[in-house]
């Protein structure tokens, strides 16, 4: 069915060829029936005429469809009239309804209406008063049949026309929607293309960021190595300068001369600046350690009053020289504070010494307050004060005030920055209040009590705060607390205490439960299951035996084995009695000798630097004039002298050309005649600054590992181990699907 604005076109309902074929069939029927009718000649003539008209209609329809259809309608009308005139059949004119119906199905309703009007005019012309002489009754029957069939056609096609109208409306709407859809599709394709382009740009930016991050991490490592090497190079000459100058200032009589006051004053200036330079080297190393996340706090319960008194006593000579009052206000009943005594004492000393340096008149007050579970320490001075613009950046590294007084007093600008970071590592904060011309108040607060002990949870991964909270409705701080509660739980069995203290800097990534032996680790696991048991063996050879002992008792908990030793453990295990880091003062050397607990009559100094040999010789003579000192400039010479005349103490340099200090110590301990001689390492390299490492990693689980687990370990762990290290807390930890692996040193066969 086709539709158009002109009306309904029914050519898909009745084909003109069917009508023509019907006419041909009718003509042959008339020929066959002509012998049985009254007037066979007229019947045959009608049949021949019908055939001729049908052929003509077929020809016209193939040339011009519309003209051929009208010709069929006219042919049928003519045939009906001929039947009426020739055969005189009653009511034959009623068959005029057939052309009307064909006009409707071959053309359209308007053509059918026109056909009815045309037939009506023709019948009127053939009425009794006309040439045809058709009576009015026959005309009435013909018109009635025409009108009836026309009405039937209208009734039949009206719903079709309505549907066509609706279809046209829907079609137009569909066309509009289709165009809109095409526009949206084009916009979507453009958006997808833009998104793909943005995705490619993001991927490229991500790759560049990864490269830049790797470069930054390599630069960080290079900086750390550079600082360590530079500090070693600084400490060696500083040790000479500070040691010799301190001997000149403190014991000028050993040189058999009396120093003029001007020279003595100049030497004090040299000594003071060298000490300042040495402190700056130490500050830079501390800052590097904190940036690398390698600074470990050794916390314990301490009396804060003692730390403050010790720091004030160190600054008291400077305050007395400048005629400044120095007060300490500590309330009675101050509870002990859980902190690293060395670091907090350094913080107090930095603040009090800064106040003494910049205060010209008046005094300094150290005030302590106890507020709930925190202690607030305030260092108040009557100095020149700090401007508002300097307050904003005073805690930045290498930053000093902009006034002339800051340039006059000098300094590195590291003390306050390091002090603030020390306080933050303790979970506290530092701030200041200052007014120009009035003074400054530097304050910091620390938690009083140690962190609350770990509580045994009701089950693995079950939250203690049982109330359900939809994450979408949590505030940012609540979401952060929820994330902290979901941190992995690790039980650390640490025999020598070297690993747990290092893990303390990664507390934002996991929850660590400390145990000092296997029984304590099993008890912690019984209280609450953990993600894994981390087993740190003091002796690597004992690691597998310890794993074999415990893995059968915890079949569902992965075991991670390693061997991390204390920073000083290497030297102590090698047989050294102690370790002195340059620059070494006379007081430090004297204290180290006193700690030996036995009289020292002869000391062997081993160093490839003759200046160092001369310095330590003089320092030993100042400590005890009765000590006999012998020197060796190489490891081979030291071994010969130790075997021929065993000394009571050996001061041994670590870094020497040829045989180094570790090799000399190994030879001494391997010889029965020198095995018991105390050895003190002396070097510019600080063993404590080196990050502890494990040479092996062993993991096990239950009774054994499946092939798929071994494959996962082999695929996943190399990627993890080869990934550059990152500082703790900077990014979320990566999840490793592998559960068990054995790497590093050769191990006994596992399950």
State the residue for tokens 């770990």. 454
Residue ranges covered by each domain of the chain: 1-242, 300-444, 471-566+692-723+734-743, 569-689
Lowest mean pLDDT among 247-261, 350-364, 391-405, 578-592: 391-405
Pairwise pLDDT comparison (697 vs 25), residue with the higher score = 697
146 and 119 Cβ atoms separated by less than 8 Å: yes
pLDDT for 741 equals 34
Q: Does 62 have pLDDT greater than 80?
A: no
Q: Does 136 have pLDDT greater than 80?
A: no
Distance in angstroms (rounded) separating the CA atoms of residues 349 and 511: 33
Instruction: Write out the two tokens for 377.
Output: 């320490």
Question: CB-side exposure of 452: number of CA atoms within 13 Å?
Answer: 3
Q: How many helices (H) and strands (E) does the chain have?
A: 22, 20
Instruction: Write out the two tokens for 579.
Output: 């370790």
Residues 6+ away with beta carbon under 8 Å from 290: 418, 421, 425
Q: Does 520 have pLDDT greater than 70?
A: yes
CA angle 459, 460, 464 (to 5 degrees): 60
446 and 428 Cβ atoms separated by less than 8 Å: yes
348 and 328 Cβ atoms separated by less than 8 Å: no
Distance in angstroms (rounded) separating the CA atoms of residues 360 and 633: 50
pLDDT for 685 equals 62
pLDDT band at residue 742 using 50, 70 and 90 as cut-offs: very low
679 and 668 Cβ atoms separated by less than 8 Å: yes
CATH assignment of 300-444? Answer: 3.30.565.10
pLDDT band at residue 188 using 50, 70 and 90 as cut-offs: very high
Query: How far is CA 267 from its chain centroid?
Result: 55
Pairwise pLDDT comparison (142 vs 504), residue with the higher score = 142
pLDDT for 7 equals 43
| CATH class given for the domain over 471-566+692-723+734-743 | alpha beta
Distance in angstroms (rounded) separating the CA atoms of residues 337 and 348: 14
Q: Which whole number is the average pLDDT over 360-378? A: 88
Instruction: Write out the two tokens for 403.
Output: 């006034």
Instruction: Write out the two tokens for 633.
Output: 């400039």
Residues 6+ away with beta carbon under 8 Å from 384: 358, 360, 403, 405, 436, 437
How would you label 339-378 residue by residue, b for 16+ Cβ within 10 Å and e otherwise? bbbebbbbbbbbbbbbbbbbbeeebbbbbbebeeebbebb
At 675, phi and psi to the nearest 5?
Answer: -65, -30
Pairing assessment for the beta strands 2-4 and 7-9 based on DSSP bridges:
antiparallel
DSSP assignments along 487-555, one per residue: S-EEEEEESSSHHHHHHGGGTTT-EEEEESSHHHHHHHHHHS--SEEEEE-SSGGGHHHHHHHHHTT-T
345 and 384 Cβ atoms separated by less than 8 Å: no
In what order do the strands lie in the sheet containing 742-743?
511-515, 489-494, 532-536, 559-564, 694-700, 742-743
3-state SS assignment for residue 178: helix
Average pLDDT of the chain? 75
Fold: same for 471-566+692-723+734-743 and 569-689 = yes
Q: Which whole number is the average pLDDT over 183-199? A: 92
Q: Does 4 have pLDDT greater than 70?
A: no
pLDDT band at residue 692 using 50, 70 and 90 as cut-offs: low
Length of the chain: 751
Tell me: the pLDDT tens digits for 295-321? 666 677 888 888 888 888 888 888 888
Lowest mean pLDDT among 163-167, 219-223, 466-470: 466-470
How would you label 570-602 residue by residue, b for 16+ Cβ within 10 Å and e otherwise? ebeeebbbebbbbbbbbeebeebbeeeeeebee
Tell me: the pLDDT tens digits for 549-584? 888 888 888 889 988 876 565 666 666 788 787 778
DSSP 626: T
Distance in angstroms (rounded) separating the CA atoms of residues 201 and 207: 10
Q: Most confidently modeled of 230-239, 339-348, 742-751?
A: 339-348
CATH assignment of 569-689? Answer: 3.40.50.2300
How would you label 491-508 residue by residue, b for 16+ Cβ within 10 Å and e otherwise? bbbbbbebbbbbbbbeee
Distance in angstroms (rounded) separating the CA atoms of residues 167 and 403: 88
Tell me: the pLDDT tens digits for 472-481? 444 444 444 4
pLDDT for 58 equals 80
State the residue for tokens 């502890």. 692
Q: Does 403 have pLDDT greater than 80?
A: no
Instruction: Give the CA-trace dihedral at 141, 142, 144, 146, to 10 degrees.
Output: 160
Pairwise pLDDT comparison (574 vs 180), residue with the higher score = 180
3-state SS assignment for residue 125: helix
- 588-596 long-range Cβ contacts below 8 angstroms, 24+ apart: 589/616, 589/619, 589/620, 589/623, 590/623, 592/680, 593/623, 593/624, 593/649, 596/649, 596/678
Instruction: Write out the two tokens for 452.
Output: 């609350």
Q: Does 290 have pLDDT greater than 70?
A: no
């Amino acid at each position: 069915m086709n539709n158009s604005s002109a009306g309904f076109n029914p050519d898909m309902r009745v084909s003109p060829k069917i009508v023509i074929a019907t006419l041909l069939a009718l003509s042959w029927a008339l020929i066959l029936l002509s012998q049985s009718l009254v007037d066979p000649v007229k019947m045959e003539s009608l049949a021949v005429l019908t055939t001729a008209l049908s052929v003509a209609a077929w020809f016209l329809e193939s040339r011009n469809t519309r003209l051929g259809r009208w010709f069929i309608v006219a042919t049928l009308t003519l045939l009906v009239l001929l039947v009426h005139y020739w055969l005189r059949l009653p009511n034959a004119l009623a068959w005029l309804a057939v052309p009307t119906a064909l006009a409707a199905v071959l053309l359209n309703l308007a053509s059918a209406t026109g056909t009815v009007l045309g037939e009506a005019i023709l019948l009127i012309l053939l009425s009794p008063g006309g040439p045809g002489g058709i009576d009015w009754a026959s005309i009435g029957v013909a018109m009635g049949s025409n009108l009836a069939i026309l009405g039937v056609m209208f009734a039949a096609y009206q719903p079709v026309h309505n549907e066509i109208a609706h279809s046209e409306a829907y079609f137009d709407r569909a066309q509009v929607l289709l165009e809109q859809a095409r526009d949206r599709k084009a916009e979507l394709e453009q958006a997808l293309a833009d998104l793909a382009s943005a995705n490619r740009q993001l991927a490229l930016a991500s790759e560049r960021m990864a490269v830049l991050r790797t470069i930054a991490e390599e630069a960080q490592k290079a900086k750390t190595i550079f600082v360590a090497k530079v500090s070693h190079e600084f400490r060696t000459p500083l040790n000479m300068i500070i040691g010799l100058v301190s001997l000149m200032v403190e014991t000028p009589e050993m040189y058999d001369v009396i120093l003029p006051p001007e020279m003595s004053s100049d030497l004090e200036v040299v000594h003071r600046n060298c000490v300042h330079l040495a402190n700056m080297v130490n500050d830079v190393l501390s800052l590097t350690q904190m940036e690398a996340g390698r600074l470990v706090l050794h916390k314990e319960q301490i009396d804060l009053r003692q730390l403050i008194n010790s720091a004030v006593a160190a600054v008291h000579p400077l305050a007395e020289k400048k005629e400044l009052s120095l007060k300490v206000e500590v309330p009675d009943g101050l509870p002990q504070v859980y902190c690293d005594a060395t670091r907090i004492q350094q913080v107090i000393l930095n603040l009090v010494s800064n106040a003494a340096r910049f205060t010209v008149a008046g005094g300094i007050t150290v005030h302590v307050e106890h507020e709930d579970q925190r202690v607030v320490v305030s260092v108040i001075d009557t100095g020149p004060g700090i401007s508002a613009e300097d307050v904003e950046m005073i805690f930045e590294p290498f930053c000093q005030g902009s006034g002339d007084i800051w340039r006059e007093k000098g300094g590195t600008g590291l003390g306050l920055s390091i002090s603030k970071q020390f306080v933050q590592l303790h979970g506290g904060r530092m701030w200041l209040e200052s007014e120009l011309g009035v003074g400054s108040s530097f304050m910091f607060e620390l938690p009083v009590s140690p962190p609350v002990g770990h509580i045994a949870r009701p089950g693995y991964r079950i939250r203690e705060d049982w109330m359900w909270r939809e994450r979408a409705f949590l505030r940012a701080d609540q979401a952060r607390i929820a994330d902290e509660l979901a941190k992995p739980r690790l039980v650390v069995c640490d025999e020598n205490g070297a690993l747990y203290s290092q893990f303390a800097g990664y507390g934002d990534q996991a929850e660590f439960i400390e145990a000092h032996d296997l029984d304590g680790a099993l008890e912690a696991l019984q209280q609450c299951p953990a993600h894994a048991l981390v087993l740190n063996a003091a002796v690597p050879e004992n690691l597998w035996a310890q794993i074999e002992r415990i893995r059968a008792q915890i079949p569902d908990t992965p075991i991670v084995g390693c061997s991390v030793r204390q920073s000083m453990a290497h030297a102590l295990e090698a047989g050294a009695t102690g370790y002195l880091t340059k620059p070494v003062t006379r007081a430090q050397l004297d204290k180290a000798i006193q700690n030996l607990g036995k009289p020292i009559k002869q000391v062997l100094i081993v160093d490839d630097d003759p200046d160092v040999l001369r310095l330590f010789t003089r320092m030993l003579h100042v400590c005890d004039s009765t000590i006999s000192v012998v020197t060796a400039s190489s490891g081979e010479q030291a071994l010969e002298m130790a075997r021929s005349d065993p000394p009571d103490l050996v001061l041994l340099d670590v870094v020497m050309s040829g045989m180094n200090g570790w090799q000399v110590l190994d030879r001494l301990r391997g010889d029965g005649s020198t095995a018991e001689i105390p050895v003190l390492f002396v070097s510019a390299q600080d063993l404590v600054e080196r990050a502890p490492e494990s040479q092996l990693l062993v993991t096990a689980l239950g009774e054994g590992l499946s092939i798929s687990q071994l494959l996962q370990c082999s695929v996943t762990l190399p990627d993890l181990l080869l990934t550059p290290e990152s500082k703790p807390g900077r990014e979320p930890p990566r999840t490793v699907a592998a559960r068990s692996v054995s790497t590093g040193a050769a191990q006994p066969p596992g399950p």
